[in-house]
Amino acid sequence: MNYFELDTPALLIDKEIMMDNLHSMQNYANQYNVQLRPHTKTHKMPKLARLQEELGSAGITVAKVGEAEVMANNGLKNIFIANEIVGKSKVERIRKLAETIDISFGIDNTYQVNQIEEVFEGAEKRAQVLVEIEVGEQRSGIIEENDFRTLLEAVKACKNVEFIGVFSHDGHSYKAQNIDECKELYLESVNRTLHFAKLAEEMGLKPKVVSIGSTPPFMLNFEIPNGVTEIRPGTYIFMDSSQANVIGTYDRCAATVLTTIISKPTKERVITDVGAKGITAQTRSIGHTATKGLGRIKEFDDVHIHGVFDEHAIIYNESFSNQVTIGDKVRIIPNHICPVCNLYEKAYLISEGEVVEEIAVDCRAKLQ
């Protein structure tokens, strides 16, 4: 069927654009001889994760243990949880996963190390951990060198925990004002990550993995310095309005939300049937990812969602209103695609306007 026949709201994925994005990022990783480990929190779809591996990725990244479990149950065998794991029940679930797949996860404190050591007592394989390095995002991760050394000494004293590398996420590059500043932040982040990798080597724990993340620098084809072993972009598979602003085109946005116009109360106000529960209320307000409104209407120039209620999107644009009628369907390019995918049970893969496949969002709501 044509995608306009779908009931709304509906999550659409343009197959040709998505495949081009996938090939482009894999070629970029190959160019710099690093492994691609895509972050699947963007799409949360095991089918697409398997496709990414088929095209050359070394494994996948997830954000939560629940996502790892779903991916493992769907045939993914090499998974990194790019997050600190706290809580014996979660570590026990990782231990169980480690019996059948290669799984690693993040740490940044001796509390976590002690808990992992206890839970993995008697396990066939040691827990595989990477230390997160805080590189400017002001989120989790090691900041001080002394804390890093203390953490690695704690790992060295363990019999059930194995240090395999370091990782970082330069999420603050999203707030760069322009490409030059983005490159500066990216290089500072990579160099800081490599510095801590060197410190680990000096302590007799040479990292097998030096992993860096964030989509904008890779979409801008920045050079990947020697010493980095893998990259973890996520949004690149679909892109969104904020990422499109980085590269200056919406042509690589593969994911949209199909919505129906349900009301035109005034000459300029248009209401559609998707709200915060279908496109979120997220925006970006700083730097080159800054977006206008709460989503961009794909078929029209400079038409954006002005606001949302739970189930309504509000557009104020008289010219747009004059071009559409109640019952028409339009597509919205979300500001941030990752949380949007988490709101849908399935996505529709489309090619040349036709629905060619339904894809289950199996990792939806796996927050634990």
Structure tokens at 87: 């809580």
Do you know the residue count of the chain? 368
The string of pLDDT tens digits covering residues 181-224 is: 999 999 999 999 999 999 999 999 999 999 999 999 999 999 99
User: What is 245-259 written as a DSSP string?
Assistant: HHHT-STT--EEEEE
State how far the Cα of 337 lies from the Cα of 345, in Å rounded to an integer. Answer: 15
Residue 154 CA from chain centroid, whole number? 31
Query: Which residues, given as ranges, of the chain have pLDDT below 70?
Result: none
Nearest partner of 287 among 175, 362, 211, 200, judged by Cα: 175
Given this model, what pLDDT does residue 146 score?
Answer: 98
Burial class (CB in 10 A: 0-12, 13-18, 19+), 290: middle
Nearest partner of 101 among 133, 132, 62, 131, judged by Cα: 62
The SS3 of residue 121 is: coil
Handedness of CA 39, 42, 44, 48 (dihedral sign): negative
Query: In the chain, what is the straight-line distance between the N-terminal and C-terminal CA atoms, in Å?
Result: 37
Q: Are 60 and 81 in contact (CB under 8 A)?
A: no
What's the Cα-to-Cα distance from 177 to each of 185, 240, 336, rounded to whole Å?
11, 18, 18
**365 DSSP 8-state letter:** T
* Max Cα-Cα span within the chain: 71
State how far the Cα of 257 lies from the Cα of 279, in Å rounded to an integer. Answer: 7
Q: In 112-148, which positions are buried (b, 16+ CB within 10 angstroms) versus exposed (e)?
A: bbebbbebbeeeeebbbbbbbbbbbbeeebbeeeeeb
State how far the Cα of 159 lies from the Cα of 99, in Å rounded to an integer. Answer: 17
Q: Are 252 and 244 in contact (CB under 8 A)?
A: yes
Q: Which amino acid is at 356?
A: V
DSSP run (H or E) holding 97: helix 88-97
Given this model, what pLDDT does residue 193 score?
Answer: 98
Ordered domains of the chain (ranges, CATH): 3-10+242-360 (2.40.37.20), 32-236 (3.20.20.10)
Q: Are 365 and 63 in contact (CB under 8 A)?
A: no
Q: Rounded to 5, what percent of the chain is helix, strand, coil?
A: 35, 25, 40
Map tokens 């690149």 to a residue: 236
Could you count the other beta carbons within 10 Å of the beta carbon of residue 312? 17
Nearest partner of 91 among 108, 107, 72, 75, judged by Cα: 107
